[in-house]
Amino acid sequence: MLFENKGLRQIILKNTFWLAVSELVSRGLGLVLIVYVIRILGAEEYGKFAFALAFVSMLVIFADFGIPTTVTREFSKGKENENEFASIVVLKLLLSAGVIIVMFGVSFFVAPDPVIQKLIWILSPFALISNFFLLIYGFLQARQRMEYQALLQIGQSVLLSSVGFYVILNFPSVENISYAYMVANAIALMAMLVFFHFCVFRLKISWDIVVVKKFIHLSWPLALTAIFASLFVNIDSIMLGYFNQIIETGWYNAAFKIIGAVMIPATLIGTSFYPTLSKSFRESQERLHSVLNFQIEIMIILALPIVVGGLLLAPQIINFFYGATFAPATPAFQILILMVGFMFIYVPFYLVLLASNQQKKVFWITFTGAVINIFLNFILIPRYSLYGAAVAILAAYVAILMLVIEVVGRTLSFSLFNQKILAVFLVGAISTTIMMGAIILLLISRMHILSVIFIGTMVYLTTLFFFFQKGFKAISIKHWGG
């Protein structure tokens, strides 16, 4: 059930399980580590770290070039394409070498603070190694072997967290924790390559210009899309740092770290569904619509309680993770949790466009959103600081969601407002309203935040179960195929 690929439904369930385990463990360990880092270093020092990491994360996307996603799509068509992997690895190495040179050069201009410059130098190899992991994961996803990806991802997270905790507890400084990230990732990469070579696919180095040209041609729309998508995540932190709001950068990124953990379900569900969407596109439009419907329904069921619960519990969540000194991050967190709701719904439409070879349309949608985000950041950050940055990224996600729904509707003749999806939304909204009442009562009784979250979740799930048992079976996979 969990180690062999036997059928479509079983493969999706197996892959979702392993991705859930790896995401929960890796994101969970990462969140605990960064909470300790933030508490020990404080908002200003962490703000320097967050600014440097945002900068290298934005540039590292040029080394990604959309290749991992293309590898997943192309290799999922047949194992004979895997012979092209050696040339793809060389291409990836050349791109990484070029990017690290640019990172070192640009660091002198982006930050006058010598500490931030040094952090950029240290974190550049860390970011490039993390990006190389994605190429290996793309190969494994094409084979639908997410159990291997989970093993590698968990191993990397355990190593990074172990080294990080040791350093931050014994040698606390922003430079030392940056070195810890870089060294741990380098060790994890060596172990991953050994495992991959002997257990999955023999690595070798070769250069086939035909293969390289093919993947550059297939990947460049994804590369451009990824560049502008990276702006969504990183430009706000970079611009806060550019306007010399380092403490505010620390508060903003502290809130965003929790948001990253909240988005785990969307990430793992999207990763599980992408190979199936690609396969369904080749089979029939009816099957593609069916799989897309199913994914949207799941996203709605997850998004509603997360958004409402996050809005209600934001002060308690920020205080629980970071303490009272990070209270200014609370309004930013509330704005960002609204963004999460739109992002959950956006993911299925984004993936179905990729699966149906509509990369150029995805690029223009992402480009539009990035332009909106940058424009609003220039206007709002000087006046409203981190809250302006949060509003800017929220507005950008609203815009790209509206655009992607319109494009999918025109391209694939799909409507978001069909009876089944509306029924699921109604059930979710009623269940969320009941959950909200329970949370308010629990807050009045001053119950601990973890207990409130647990009881609220149980109330929501119980209400959902009641509706579906009574015959309001909006989520049904009978029609969905084998």
Q: Is residue 103, in this structure, part of any structural domain at all? A: yes
Q: Is residue 481, in this structure, part of any structural domain at all? A: no
Q: Is residue 437, in this structure, part of any structural domain at all? A: no
Domain that holds residue 284: 8-416
pLDDT at 482: 41
| Integer Cα distance of 301 and 424 in angstroms | 7
Count of the separate structural domains present in the chain: 1
Q: Is residue 479, in this structure, part of any structural domain at all? A: no
3-state secondary structure 25-81: HHHHHHHHHHHHHHHHHHHHHHHHHHHHHHHHHHHCHHHHCCHHHHHHHHHCCCHHH
Q: How much of the chain is in helix, strand and coil states, percent to nearest 5?
A: 85, 0, 15
pLDDT at 108: 81
27-85 pLDDT tens trace: 888 888 988 899 898 888 888 998 898 889 888 888 888 888 788 877 777 677 777 88
Question: For residue 269, is pLDDT > 60?
Answer: yes
| Integer Cα distance of 277 and 291 in angstroms | 7
Q: Is residue 311, in this structure, part of any structural domain at all? A: yes
Check: CB of residue 452 under 8 Å from CB of residue 443. yes
Q: Is residue 290, in this structure, part of any structural domain at all? A: yes
Strands (E) located in 149-258:
none
pLDDT at 394: 94
The mean pLDDT value for 204-208 works out to: 81
Phi-psi region of 471 (alpha: psi -120 to 50; beta: other; left: phi over 0): left
| Integer Cα distance of 363 and 359 in angstroms | 6
118-133 pLDDT tens trace: 999 999 999 899 888 8
Q: Is residue 175, in this structure, part of any structural domain at all? A: yes
Q: Is residue 326, in this structure, part of any structural domain at all? A: yes
